[in-house]
Amino acid sequence: MTKNILLLFFFTLAMFFSININSQELIPLQVNNSWKYIEKVKIKGKLIKTDTLISRVEKTMDFNNKKWFYMTELNSKYIVRNDEKGQYEIDTLRTQNNGDFKEVLMFRNDNKLNQNPYKVYETIKVKIDDKITLIKTEIGQFECIKYTIIPHEALENEFYEFYFKPGIGLIYHKWVENDKITTSELIQYNIE
């Protein structure tokens, strides 16, 4: 009897945490939210560069009757929004048949929506890890959802790993390009 109660308790606890994680935005989008990272670049294991990067939600815009956010993320510019399915980007390089920019669901909230891995754009695959990954940084430990992005099927030695803590944002990023490994680790954040 006690064993069954314990099993029920742990099952309920696991369901609570899985619902809690999937109900929050991967990156909380509100103007002035910001994140600071330490970036390290290594080639063949040797550190060649260290830099500080700032990610920031800058302003809003309306597009296709939806609220979007201009965001600088790891020194790149994006136009993004969240909904119950995940985080979308506006693909400013390609347009739909009517001339409008295309909305792309980049980071899905749930790996059961369709298939895992899933494709974005024509050549990019995204895989959501089935388990939560604990990432330790200088500002704490975070239970993260891991997304692996493979940009081109022909390039086996290039991939990106994104570790998100829902409700806080990107905690850790790793870009592997042959012998070059670039990492970005969260060292400070401000969520309003």
| Residues 97-129: tens digit of each pLDDT | 555 677 888 998 865 544 578 888 777 889 898
Give the pair of three-digit tokens for residue 126: 């995204």
Q: Look at 124 and 136; give whichever has higher pLDDT.
A: 136
For position 111, what pLDDT does the model report? 52
Distance of CA 63 to the CA centre of its chain: 22
Q: Look at 36 and 112; give whichever has higher pLDDT.
A: 36
Q: Look at 131 and 8; give whichever has higher pLDDT.
A: 131
Other residues' Cβ atoms within 10 Å of the Cβ of residue 160: 17
Give the position of tokens 């989008």.
29
Contacts for 74-83: CB closer than 8 Å, 24+ residues apart: 74/37, 74/39, 74/170, 74/173, 74/184, 80/27, 80/29, 80/106, 81/29, 82/25, 82/26, 82/27, 82/29
Give the position of tokens 């680790």.
185
**pLDDT of residue 19 exceeding 50:** no
pLDDT-derived band at 154 (thresholds 50, 70, 90) equals low
This prediction's pTM: 0.81
pLDDT-derived band at 21 (thresholds 50, 70, 90) equals very low
Give the pair of three-digit tokens for residue 106: 């980049």
Q: Pick from 187, 189, 188, 182: which is nearest to 50 by CA? A: 182
Q: Which domains does the chain have, with CATH numbers?
A: 25-190 (2.40.360)
